[in-house]
Structure 1
């Protein structure tokens, strides 16, 4: 792997790297109101005043500390991603402070259609688009809430909770952990005001996921278990919606337990997951989550890989023949788990075939995943021309 650290580069080199191929020097000059000569001087480390630094940093959508090399940029974030996240942050914090910009909010039915579209994009792995939609959705939902008559606000509170949850999910996927915590916290308050037990459980599960990505594994497992227990239904009376949400919670608890290396706990949750999936009989969607028998089986592949049980994972892979009922993002994630299982079994060619197909099928989704780099590093010394090609696709360097 490359030995260069972000701090090893000069400030000018970092500006050029942040500008990337998407923004020309001429375009950056226009965005900052500076001359092209000033931009060129900054990138060549010839001249960079504080006002110029601040203007360039703001235009690039990064923190000054990133430009100065004090902290690295977030992985895989392009200029459009950074601009979207900045708008997302403004929407979350403004709305929480009661600041709304929508004078005539749309009806709840219209906003719920927009929310449905946002979740469809989310399950397609189009996270930047989800973030872009979530900004006006959250602002409009908050405005709609304020316009609702007293005693008729529960539905609007539920919509606000869902909009905050969408914002939190996008922020978490893109490494904006502080924003993810803030959005999930506001979602929790809104879900409580909505008086909807399923929504409250989903928000708790979302917070558990933020904990997982923040390496707070014990907190993640405790919260995942508690939220699953809170909504555990009686199978004889449970609705498909209840089973879908419960199954998703149990599945996630299995994932967290496996990350902690607790095989017995993970196995117990997987058993409950399979039972819930069998009860449903098919893949179902509810409140922005998806679950069913295929989800239960494909998630078990990743759980076994986390536990170091590559043989079990590969056996499951060989038993799975059709994943078209899954969302696009779930299908892509399964393909990465499959590629990792094949790599663990030293089936290098099959692993590379699977990985390359997944990355080419969903390049925008793949940019926000860490697993492709893990797979390439495992294949590592079996370097081939194809390995180099796949490594280039995901922005990694094969070990040779």
Structure 2
């Protein structure tokens, strides 16, 4: 039987292996009865419960819901991208392959981030590979007075590499690349860039179900660049606001609603100071971005009604990049599911899946939603299952 053909309960039992239900419950900080019901398929599992189980089982939530097997199967393009990206990251970090004339890679780096945000991971990985090679070569030949800037650009290229690897499930490469990014950012002497790298590491921890590490690292990302009250630099304010809001997301996933509320209020205060969404390195932060994250936090903390209420008041999302708008729609779909609006939920989910299948394929939340709302055998649920590669049983 293929992995996705098992029920979620069967997958949990298989992943649990030789440890007992009691041991899994203790590791996940859940009641034994919750684990027992999960394995028996009685009742729906909330997103926080799935996250805790994934963390305790040492796997990704997408594995638990059947969207991918324990060893992820990749498309041919993805495998080729990862192979070349891995070779480049490790070789350049060891000082290999950098004795060549670098190309002008600024446009390629921007194109790589654009492809990443659009969910085209194979394209983003190709740009990341070429940018790492060129940035490393440029650093090797840079005069002393340009070396700090060159370190910063290489940090950006390594960070893009880590994000692509993380989305493709290559966690070892993601950790290696973000580690190299941290070293280069530190040598570049830019606290804002260092904060972005720390936030990136926190996101990798989050995808790896290392929730406590994610929370601690997210705190580093925003406390290190906290602006003074009189500071009006929009770039610094937007960067700080984004990081503190992401920390709120992590706190919500960690099951700490009070911390999430406090951090979100800080992000909201910064957004209010800005008055509008400000673009920083291709990512918008401001009132719309905060509201979008607040919707996800409300869902994570068991307040789907509040999430849908916030969504009704969010009229303009044009400042958000496509991946952020897609994620917002998934949060809305999950809120609709949690309020038993199953038809609306499937409509919302199917729209995202059909319009952005490449992006959806690398996300874990569609599998969670499909498991919870796709119990009925309908044409919509079958289409969703085919796109995301997850059974709905």
What band does the TM-score fall into relative to the shorter chain? 0.7 to 0.9
In the alignment, which residue of structure 2 is the partner of 1:22?
none
Aligned-partner Cα distance in 2 for 1:213–1:382: 29
CA contact 2:284–2:319 (8 Å) conserved in 1: no
Alignment pair present for 1:217 and 2:214: no
* 2:291 maps to 1:297: yes
The alpha carbon displacement at 1:102 in A equals 5.8
Consecutive unaligned residues in structure 1, runs of 5 or more:
7-70
CA distance in 1: counterparts of 2:314 and 2:362, whole angstroms: 25
Greater relative contact order, per chain length (Cα 8 Å cut-off, separation 6+): 2
CA–CA separation in structure 2 for the residues paired with 1:179 and 1:121: 19
Output the aligned Cα RMSD.
Answer: 1.8
Q: Give the Cα separation in 1 of the matches to 2:99 and 2:348.
A: 46
Q: How far, CA to CA, are the matches of 1:117 and 1:291 in structure 2?
A: 20
Any conservation in 1 of the 2:361–2:388 contact (CA below 8 Å)?
yes
1:281 is displaced (CA, Å) by: 2.3
Give the corresponding residue for 2:349: 355
Q: What is the aligned residue count? A: 331
Q: Which residue of 2 aligns with 1:152?
A: 146
Q: Say if 2:159 is the partner of 1:169.
A: no
Moved more, 89-98 or 207-216: 207-216
TM-score (norm 2): 0.80
Q: How does 1:243-392 map to 2 (within 5 A)?
A: 243-392=237-386
**Bigger radius of gyration:** 1
CA distance in 2, matches of 1:281, 1:369: 31
Compute the displacement of 1:384 (Å).
2.2
Q: Is the 8 A contact 1:273 1:296 kept in 2?
A: yes
State how far apart, in whole Å, the 2-side matches of 1:386 and 1:361 are. Answer: 14
In structure 1, C-alpha distance between the alignment counterparts of 2:376 and 2:312, rounded to whole Å:
24
1:32 is aligned to none
* DSSP 3-state at the match of 1:153: helix
Given that residues 283 and 321 in structure 2 are in contact (C-alpha distance below 8 angstroms), is that contact kept between their aligned partners in structure 1? no
Partner of residue 96 from structure 1, selected from 93, 107, 110:
93
Which among 124, 134, 137 is matched to residue 130 of structure 1?
Answer: 124
Match of 1:29 in 2: none
What do the CA deviations read for 1:33-85 (whole angstroms, capped 9, x no partner)?
xxxxxxxxxxxxxxxxxxxxxxxxxxxxxxxxxxxxxx84315x201001100
Asked whether the 8 Å contact 1:180–1:210 carries over to 2, the reply is yes
Q: Choose which of 119, 132, 135 in structure 1 pairs with 2:113.
A: 119
- Provide structure 2 residue ranges, at least 5 long, that are not aligned to the other structure: 12-68
CA contact (8 A) 2:98 2:140 kept: no
**Do the aligned residues in 1 keep the contact of 2:78 with 2:121 (CA within 8 Å)?**
no
Q: CA deviation at 1:218?
A: 1.2
Q: Are the equivalent residues in 2 in contact too, given 1:199–1:287 (CA < 8 A)? A: no
Please, which moves more after superposition, 202-211 or 310-319?
Answer: 310-319
